[in-house]
Chain A
Amino acid sequence: MSNQNYEIMIGLEVHIQLTNLKSKLFCNCSNDYRGAEPNTYVCPICLGLPGSLPVLNKKAVEFATRLALSLDCKINHRFWFYRKNYHYIDLPKGFQISQYNKAGGKAFADGGKITIKLNNHKKDIILNRIHLEEDPARLVHKGSIATSPYTLVDYNRSGVCLIEIVSEPVINSPEEAREFLKQLKSIVQYSEIANLDLQGSVRVDANISIVGHERSEAKNINSFKEVERALRHEIVRQKNILKRGKTLILETRHWDEKRRITISLRKKEFEADYRYFPEQDLTPIEIDDEFIDRVRDKLPEMPSERAHRLRREYDLSEFDSDNLVLDKDIANFFEDGVNSDPSFGPNEYKQFCNWLMNNISGWLNEHNMTIKNTKLHTKQVVDLVNYVKEGKITTKIAKSLMADLMEGESVSNILEKKDKTRISDRAFIENLCKDAIDENPKIVEDCANNTKAIKALIGRVMKKTRGQADPSITREIILKILRKMDIID
């Protein structure tokens, strides 16, 4: 029983803020509310004051078109906005202006897909639709929502433009969900409509079910990273219920990020009836082919196209190029870097890519930063690749420079500083070199055949000094001794 295989079905509703817009969806207030005093980026329209009317931000339509084209969706040429009616304190009008794809309504765009790769296997995650809507206000609690003595409302967020991306329930594992979101984030970044690294720019609702059983909807997942966690938890919870012989019910659950569990909010039978109907304060939106073509012509290169190009131009592997393009800034860093040194060839491209994907990305993840907000510049990584190639430093030493590199220090400066703590006493090193030669006759023998084996001897000296012996002095001394011994010319 416990080893029973459950087939999982997941559908995601991803809300992203179009953070690159200058103003909100229906008024002129600034979209860039982060860090602002609460309730300062507001006007009669986004406060929903009596008598105010919404006016559609045309740029939002252009941004939505960009995303729709990037996701291969079919854009609807004519649609109304709809009112989604419900009472809550974050909604100053008592309804949210959104879109609706039933009862005569249409989404902004239908269909579309995102291709993911997992364990060398490609899969298309088919989308249901994408649509535009306004963000409700932000609620601020003291501590936990359950125990806070009050709720404060910050309307700075009210009316910010959201795009909702709805997938079909064709995602079969938390890993697939993670890959899907990774690709989505990348496409959003490439289409230049939002910076999803900003706090609060993403909200995900996930529908999860075990095939043959009722689904649950996990709401309030506030970052891409949390999604995988929430899904894992929810799947385990559902499996446990089934293992105990109980039945799953259709319900809405709340993802509690701090406790890392989902909590039941309401049974779906009593789901709110949103009484969708057309928003008549806005005229129908018309999008013609000419407009779509204009937007398409201006669309930047997308990650999948770029990965192809990187393979072609820099001879990178599929794995490397796919990973390199995910973050546009990293891919830009790569191209800028390798192109700045004309001596670079496929070998250096590969090395540069490795530095970026392993040590630098690792450091960024660990520090929860993006490459743009470090002081790292391309020249440093170019130097790094060259120093290692020229044997000036070992890879191991190079890796130890990471923290200083991120502060923007040049490789030569860092090495100079390190020099001061370095052992460069010739007599001391010479003794160690002699020891190393005596202790490793096999390597010495190798050196006679191939001078490259000297590296192994240098390594022994380094080991003895915990990497602090000056490598060039060490090399020089070993060469001298081996010559004296007539091992080499």
Chain B
Amino acid sequence: MELDNYMAYELIEKIHNREITIQEVIQASFDKIDETDQCIHSFVNYSKQKALEKAKEYDTKLIGGQEFGKLYGLPFANKDLICMKDFPTTCCSRILEGFRPPYNAYVIERLVEQEGAIHIGNTNMDEFAMGSSTESSCYGPTFNPWDLKRVPGGSSGGSATSIASGQAILALGSDTGGSIRCPASFSGVVGLKPTYGRVSRYGLIAFANSLDQIGPITKCVHDAALMLEIISGKDPLDSTSIDGKVDNYTEEIKKTISKKVLGVPKEFFGEGVDNTVKKSVEKSIKKLESLGATTIEVTIPHLEYTVATYYLICMCEASSNLARYDGIRYGKITDDLSGDIFDVFRRTRGENFGPEVRRRIFLGTYALSAGYYDMFYLKALKVRSLIKQDFVNAFKICDSIVCPTMPITAFKIGELIDNPLQMYAIDILTCPVNLAGLPALSIPCGFDSNNLPIGFQIIGDYFDEKGILNIGYQLERELDIYRKKPPIIKGGI
């Protein structure tokens, strides 16, 4: 069988109807990995033996008529910063080499332990999720299955390519300033960043804890809705998780969007946004109108300050969140133990953090220092609340906001790695969503002249994942490109 022919919800039915065994599904997943992953490099650690054992066990239970979870037997790829009990979880950083968490993240408990998804491995990412290209991983870059010379986007690049290339059916990413939506856009898959607080962060290794949020990466909107239903909700172990109503997303998506008012923020189509991207997104907006939605122009006047604000805040938080890595209790310690404990700390961190992580720790530490705190951090917090207010104002006159996910399509590997400011600048359309704490969905809406996917972003009001999934689903079915496969896969375009 070819895994990439199926959406998750289709596979679930086939498994339940015993048209296919779970062992066949998991085997197909690893066959695809064997076939493609030396070119793509989605994964940094596999869980093959355990996954095959689980598959066998689950097949037996299924025949025995036992109750099974909603994701029973589906191959699931985990981003390398979500804690899996006893499985290496490293944030693709040398400093966490050999770290095996003694506990499961909340989302792992839900997906794997309770609903029966089968973990097949951990996926590649920018070190500590700091990047938009999956090039800063200590394991080396991931390659875009639509063009192996190009980046898959980041930081959840490996999760996106594992879905795009049919290696996995479900994947998790985390999104701090676009890390789910950027690779979803560049790799031609669906990525959902939920409202801050919708999904528990317990077990998510922090990059910038006021911005981080876990979300699904899938082949289609229906599958993302399915995953969100499972991972949402209040977790007593995450004080910032919200005790709100979790909607029946898989049903809600099928509703008509004829009464929807879509806000089109003019700043999101401004300078720096590639013309092909702009045209493709505008074409999709027309499609939505043809489905009965109306559009209205809205404005996010502080958009131009978002990149600076975002990077200041995330670096400050990162400088503190990453302070715990000293090689003493877990992870990698320097070989040279001479001098006092602070010498050992310094060498361990200097040797084992990559250059981008070090840059952000330096800048964040500097910005929080006495005398600079008011000038930088406090000011950034003030701008953050202005940006938030921009969105609150926009949602007074529209239901959801539609715009491009990324201003460009996938760029070439190495093209921006030495130019951090340019790399940061491409987050301009995704990071404001994190600053405001809103939910946003990215779905493929077309291809550029190089046959690279273009991402369409739908930003929702707080906790209105229902609304954006609904719009995304209707657009996806209308565009009908969601079954397209990248050229690396047999049968791809």
* A residues lining the B interface (CB < 8 Å): 44, 47-56, 83, 85, 87, 89, 92-95, 103-104, 151, 273, 275, 277, 280-283
Contact = CB atoms under 8 A, between A and B. Distances in A.
Contacts of A44: 101-103
A49 B202 contact: no
Contact of B320 (A85, A103, A104): A85
A55 B236 CA distance: 8
A67 to B, nearest CB: 23
A104 B105 CA distance: 33
Contact of A89 (B319, B320, B341, B373): B341
Nearest to A280: B210
Q: Which 10 A-B pairs have the closest CB atoms?
A: A94-B323, A275-B368, A280-B210, A50-B205, A51-B203, A51-B83, A94-B324, A51-B205, A273-B370, A93-B324
B373 A103 contact: yes
Contacts of A54: 239
Contacts of A282: 239-240
A277 B323 contact: no
Contacts of A56: 239
Contacts of A281: 206, 209, 238-240
A277 B377 contact: yes
A50 B101 contact: yes
A277 B365 CA distance: 11
B378 A104 contact: yes
B96 A83 contact: no
Nearest to B241: A53
B370 to A, nearest CB: 5
A280 B102 contact: no
Given A47-B329, A51-B101, A280 B237 contact: no
B202 A50 contact: no
A359 B240 CA distance: 56
A273 B323 contact: no
Contact of A83 (B201, B320, B328): B320
Interface residues of B, number: 46
Interface string B431-449: 0000000000000000000
Contacts of A50: 83, 89, 91, 96, 99, 101, 205-206, 324
B253 interface: no
Give the dominant DSSP class at B's interface: loop
Contacts of B368: 85, 275, 277
Given A50-B324, A56-B239, A275-B369, 19 more contacts: A47-B329, A49-B102, A50-B83, A50-B205, A51-B82, A51-B205, A52-B203, A55-B236, A85-B323, A92-B324, A92-B329, A94-B322, A94-B326, A103-B374, A273-B370, A280-B210, A280-B240, A281-B206, A283-B239
Nearest to A281: B209
Contacts, number: 97
Nearest to B102: A44
Most chain B CB within 10 A, of A83, A87, A92, A95, is at: A87
Interface in B348-399: 365, 368-370, 373-374, 377-378
A453 B463 CA distance: 94
A277 B239 contact: no
Nearest to B203: A51
A95 B240 CA distance: 19
29 contacts: A44-B101, A44-B102, A50-B91, A51-B89, A51-B204, A52-B103, A52-B202, A53-B201, A53-B238, A55-B236, A55-B238, A55-B239, A85-B320, A85-B323, A85-B368, A92-B324, A92-B329, A93-B323, A94-B326, A95-B323, A103-B373, A273-B370, A275-B365, A277-B368, A277-B373, A277-B377, A280-B209, A281-B209, A283-B240
Contacts of B461: none
A282 B209 CA distance: 10
